[in-house]
A and B are shown apart, each in its own frame.
Chain A
Amino acid sequence: MATNQNSVERVDDAVVRSFARAAVLAALMGAAAVVGSIPIPFSPVPVSLGVLVVYLMGLYLGPVWGPASVGLYLTAGAVGLPVFANGASGIGVLVGDSAGYLWAYPIAALVIGTLIHGRGKLENPAETSIPVLAVALLTALTIIYALGTVWLGYVLKVSMIEAVNLAVVPFIPGDLLKIVATIVIVKGGRIDPT
């Protein structure tokens, strides 16, 4: 049997720490897509917690590792882990009807991370004011809706208005609720990523 003899190139400690968090949060997102889902009043669609984890990735991992974490989630789903909504998986989902939302997630995490942390060191998001948090999260949600709708309209050949009716309107109450919940989590200050 052939043996390989290479010297070991250690990964930097700071990278290991951020990478471990990114990987575990990607798994949390996959778990939330299956286990979470809470019925809410005045809406036929229960709230799934997947997007909530995207917000948390941007807030707690920052503009570099937040999108990287979403990237891990998408790759894991593409190669067959049941991490997409309701336990779906496969590359097909990444070009299917809801693909626009999925591709918007890394951008959303990037935007939140950049608006909250800037380009410098990771800060504790609990110190950010509520209006800034709300603006960052609503911007992210808008990006997710925009890409999701445009892709759905293209791939299913329906008009923009029909796409909005099919894929945005039923989810608005739940998504606003998740933004409020995210702000509550951040302001609770139990977790300090620094």
Chain B
Amino acid sequence: MLTYEPDDTFAHRLDPRTKLAVQIGFAATALAHPTPRALLVLSALTGVVMAGAGVSLRRTLAAYRFALLVLALAPVLSGATLGAPWFDRAAATASGLASYRVLLVLLVSAAYVRSTPVRDSRAAIQRTIPGKPGQLLGIGVALVFRFLPVLRGDLRTIREAMAARLGTERGAVDRVSTIGMLGLSRAFDRADRLSLALQARCFAWNPTLPPLAFSRADYPVLAVAVVLACSAFI
């Protein structure tokens, strides 16, 4: 599974806002130019980004395997025709190039995921989006991070308990609604305890955040992000 890994690569030392900008610029230009030449340049850039963040290609492809299935099927479906000539190569090529750019965008975002702790992302969100929406979004992301393993545990417990009572022999609607209902009621219990805890700890609109600062390495990377974003309009 794709996740943050502590390391000392070039990407790990960059400010999260720079890395977000690079991804947005990259995605914009990749979506705008599904041509072989542009994709060649973007492939090289993807290679540089992945090397800069120490991302393993094999593990990343494994993490995105379900998306890859759709990306691989799209050109085949697009090329297949009912009747002669049975396979339309032009349509398949266009779709193949389009699928490939999506793969590149996914690989670049994997570099961000590997090199940025959630705490930094939270600070970036809160500093970029002004006012109370930014605050709630930042804190919310931190809470989702905190509660994800807990609720995963809850769902797993519910499923194991059902399996132990031969729940797996029941109909699909019954199973889905039981998991949904128990999952939701546990989530609501946790949420009510959480809100009590937040109130008890003076949950405020203005807490103290970790400091973020652009270093010298950030500026050239930021410039790359701007160039990428602008190239979408060429």
Contacts and interface: CB of A to CB of B under 8 A. Distances in A.
Contacts of B180: 49, 52-53, 56, 181-182, 185
A24 B154 CA distance: 12
Interface string A140-179: 0000000000001001111100100111000000000110
Contacts of B84: none
Contacts of B208: 4
Given A80-B113, A181-B180, A191-B185, A35 B145 contact: no
A156 B74 contact: yes
A159 B23 contact: no
A101 B125 CA distance: 23
Interface residues of A, number: 79
B179 A36 contact: yes
Interface stretch (B6-14, B170-178, B218-226): B170-178
Give the dominant DSSP class at A's interface. helix
Contacts of A158: 74, 77-78, 95
A138 interface: no
A105 interface: no
Interface string B45-58: 00000000000000
B105 interface: yes
B145 A156 contact: no
A16 interface: yes
A192 to B, nearest CB: 9
A9 B187 contact: no
Given A21-B187, A159-B78, 7 more contacts: A20-B143, A31-B151, A79-B116, A81-B144, A93-B106, A162-B74, A167-B70
Q: Which 8 A-B pairs rank lowest in CB-CB distance, beginning with the nearest? A: A90-B109, A92-B109, A79-B121, A27-B147, A20-B195, A92-B106, A80-B113, A157-B98
18 contacts: A8-B204, A20-B143, A20-B198, A21-B188, A21-B191, A23-B144, A31-B154, A35-B155, A79-B122, A80-B121, A82-B1, A90-B2, A92-B102, A92-B108, A95-B31, A96-B106, A157-B91, A184-B173
